[in-house]
Amino acid sequence: MQEVLLELPQYQPITHHYFADGMYCREVFREAGTLVVGAVHKKEHFYIVVSGTVSITDGLSESSEVTGPKVMVSQPGTKRAVYAHTDAVCITVHKTDKTDLDEVEADLVEEDPKSAYLSGNTLPLIGAA
């Protein structure tokens, strides 16, 4: 799915980053009709659909449609594809002492040379946040 998506126009979601006492929170706004493939996560973390309706798949189990608010726990090794049926806000919360986005990415996700996104959830052609 990721390779096919890379051949389409890319979507840069509005992303906000928050840090507090050894935690990193990434808040992502997805426009209705967008599909994003994330990275493989190294550590267990919270995945929260705050608002809207999304379909989530990890490629291993059946896709599930989730309407927020909904809190889930993602296991290490998880890589999600998320399709926004409506405008949606999703949040991940991670344990890390890092506060530099490049270091956060190195700590929390597997390196993926095929990813469309740089650290901070930005596209290479648009630039870093």
pLDDT of residue 8: 56
pLDDT of residue 58: 81
For the entire predicted model, the pTM comes to 0.79
Domains and CATH numbers, the chain: 2-108 (2.60.120.10)
Pick out the chain residues at pLDDT < 50: 126-129
Q: Give the H/E segment covering residue 48.
A: strand 45-51
Tokens of 33: 């009709």
CB atoms within 10 A of CB 94: 21
pLDDT of residue 5: 58
